[in-house]
Structure 1
Amino acid sequence: MKSRIRLVAILLVVSLAVAFFLPTSPAPAQDKTIRWKIQTPYPLAVPYVARTAKMGDRIKAMSNGRLDIKFYPPGGIVPAYAEWDALQKGTLEGGFMTPSDVRGIFGPVGDLFNQYPMGPTGIEMVSWMLYGNGEKLLREVMDKVGFKEVVFVAPANLSVAEDEMWTNKKIEKPADFKGLKIRTFGYWGQILQGVGASVVTLPGGELYQALERGVIDACEYGTSADNEAIKLNEVTKYCYYPGVHSPGNVHYIFVNKKAWERLSPDLREIIKRESLATAMDNFAAGAVESAQAREKMRAKGTQFLPLNMEVQAFIAQKSDELWDSFAAKDPVYAKVYKDQKEFMKKYRELMGEIQPDFTKIYEALKKK
């Protein structure tokens, strides 16, 4: 009996020892890929939006597959222009957008971070955001309107100035705006109405026919590349420049705070640096596309005409009057506007001194 007990005990010890040293079956590998959804209110077919959406592929490659970002079109996850609320709630991890998209929430101050008549160029805006007080002030504004769970990451698009106006009527003095039926919107439309123009709001797809049929006398829509794409040159004679109503346009990447904090520092840096690289890519590509578009349209007979300084000064005066009225009513607007103006003054003084005026140089050469 005792020998049986000893035998059972020995067998049990041996079995346990064998079980301990045998290799165990590997546990199923966990998916370590972080998946993000970024939505934009702008159609993905628009060139700068399409270029920005490619960020997802580049970030996936740079992170060795650890971060997989998919860009969604308007309405892909939430309704267009609901991206801000979705980020606040965590429904989306990211958004490609700008505060002025939702003026009903941000009010006039939102435009100070995007574009407005006589405002910063794209490069000036990005410089102020990154190396002035822009990011800090935007944080204050977002907190004030209730977006405390939304984090600013970086610019992802900046554009060249838009064409000022496409028309069949010459604009040679401020009085020429009176009675002009012009397609525009927003605060620029408000300024034009104040000087006697008749402002009409139309989608871009309807501008060709509206100009052709005389429903409107003039329009502003976008950059030269944008305007050539919808063939405004076929139904107008003149394109006026410079784009004082929109010197530049900037859009940003915003993210949900909790989703951002869950990322490792290196993944955060990858997103930020890729956003900045995409912004420069958009600027460079947009400038080349507009230059090529102008060359094509000029060859087909479009006359590109400069707005005389009297008209530009008039626009500046009326614009400043409107911004000053906003500042008088809203201390937050006043704070942001004052800071931005001071930054631009120093920036423009520098650029005015160190940047050669190539247009004037070549004009002087022609006179010789």
Structure 2
Amino acid sequence: MTNAYPPGAPFYTVGPGSPTDFCKKVDAMSGGRLKIQHFAAGELIPALEGFDAVQAGTVEMNAANAYFWAGKLFAAQYFTTVPFGLNFQGVNAWLYHGGGLELWQELYKPLGLIAFPMGNTGVQMTGWFREPIESVEDFNGLKMRIPGLAGKVYKELGVDVKLLPGGEIFPALERGVIDAAEFVGPYQDRRLGLQKAAKYYYTTGWHEPSNVTELLINLQTWESLPTDLQEIVKAAAMACNIESHTWSEANNADALDDLVKNYDVKADVLPAEIVSKMREITFDVLEAEAAKDPQTKKVHDAFMAFRDKHRAWATISEKPYHEYLS
């Protein structure tokens, strides 16, 4: 198994629910019958070459995020996150019980690949900015590290979008090569040291209300496994999906508190008029992209139909509860 993320990165390579934890779980659950050797980014192949390596059979597995492969399959992004899309609860409901996983595998099968969810950060922060963001116009001309569908939205606002691996974000932000950067959330961002390069930290989670880690497997290798080992792989991936999210939820609050109190970080919510404009652009972009390709349209329509159904339930269940707490 190769990985898009660097050695020692909590969640992404090591720790509870991580890819290395997944390998340990599979080893233990199979009684040692199935052993997976893990290589972080750069240890065997470069960070973002896992898709090609698994497809070619150079390696059997890769851990990353499906939106890294947008240049190959636009629809792959829907299996990582969608701006104004589904939260952790919703995306797992869609993947496991709403037909999402079947669509994901249908998309990959012609390429000799199969995928499963293996992690989730939960909601992510909008990102770090060297200067305050007070209006939509402040995005024009900004150079920002931002992957996935959100990058297309930012482009519509005049942002110069950059796709950088996690390990390259801090030096680029510190040197002013970029003006802003999105990574994950307080715990992960603090570990990268982003608070030393920028002080304005915004949220709403509009761009990534959840973020799925992809377990990518060579289809021929997968089909060579006996059924019991396939079930072990699926069960270990599902366990890591839940465990990684709970780990993230347990650590982000303390990390945010530390950033604000000890690093002079100014944490704030994006102004409502900015988020409203982002939402308007998001659905224009998604509809336009879906119209270009039948494959993308199929995934888009299925995702949005489930999103609307889940939102109706969340509006009557979760929303009143959170409003009561506030």
Give the TM-score range, shorter chain: 0.7 to 0.9
Moved over 6 A (4+): none
Structure 2 CA distance for partners of 1:185 and 1:92, relative to 1, 3 Å: closer
Q: 1:344, CA displacement in angstroms?
A: 0.8
Compared CA separation, residues 314 and 86, structure 1 to 2 (3 A): same
1:227 lines up with 2:194 in the alignment: no
Partners of 1:197 and 1:64 lie apart in 2 by 51
One-letter identity of the residue aligned with 2:83: P
Kindly report which structure 2 residues correspond to 1:1-368, keeping only aligned pairs within 5 A, or say none.
Answer: 38-48=1-11, 49-50=13-14, 51-74=18-41, 76=43, 80-106=47-73, 108-143=74-109, 146-147=110-111, 149-152=112-115, 154-199=116-161, 204=166, 207-208=169-170, 211=173, 216-300=178-262, 301-357=264-320, 360-363=323-326
Q: Distance in 1 between matches of 2:59 and 2:186?
A: 33
Amino acid at match of 2:131: K
Cα deviation, 1:318-361, whole Å, max 9, x if unaligned, reads 11111111111111111110110010111121112111556543
Pairwise CA distance, 1:67:
1.8
Distance 2:166 2:88 in 1: 22
- Count of residues in Structure 1 that have an aligned counterpart in Structure 2: 321
Cα distance in 1 for partners of 2:192, 2:322 equals 29
- Select the structure with the greater relative contact order (CA < 8 A; seq sep ≥ 6): 2
Q: How far has the Cα of 1:91 moved from its partner?
A: 3.7
- Preserved contact between residue 161 and residue 247 of structure 1 (Cα < 8 Å): yes
TM-score, scaled to structure 2: 0.87
- Once the two structures are superposed, residues 51-108 of structure 1 have per-residue CA deviations (whole angstroms, 9 ceiling, x without a partner) of 22122222222222222222223355555544334434444333323432223321x2
Using the size of structure 1 for normalisation, the TM-score is 0.78
**Cα distance, 1:199 vs structure 2:** 4.1
Distance in structure 1 (CA, Å) of the matches to 2:128 and 2:56: 42
Unaligned runs of 5+ in 1: 1-37, 364-368
Q: Percent same amino acid at aligned positions? A: 28
Cα distance change, pair 171–287 in 1 and its aligned pair in 2 (3 A) = same
For 1:272 and 1:351, locate their aligned partners in 2 and report how far apart those are by CA, in whole Å: 28
Kindly indicate whether the alpha-carbon contact (under 8 Å) linking 1:44 and 1:53 is maintained by their aligned counterparts in 2: no
Q: Which has the larger radius of gyration?
A: 1
**CA 1:58–1:210 in 2, change beyond 3 Å: closer, same or farther?**
closer
Q: Answer yes or no: is the 8 Å Cα contact 2:113–2:218 preserved in 1.
A: yes
Over residues 201-224 of structure 1, what are the superposed CA-to-partner deviations in whole Å (9 max), with x where a residue is unaligned? 666556556555655443322222
> CA shift at 1:164, angstroms?
0.6
Per the alignment, in what secondary structure is the counterpart of residue 131 of structure 2? coil
- Tell me the C-alpha RMSD between the 2 structures: 2.6
Deviation at 1:298, TM superposition (A): 1.8
Q: Which ranges of structure 2 fall in alignment gaps of 5 or more residues?
A: none
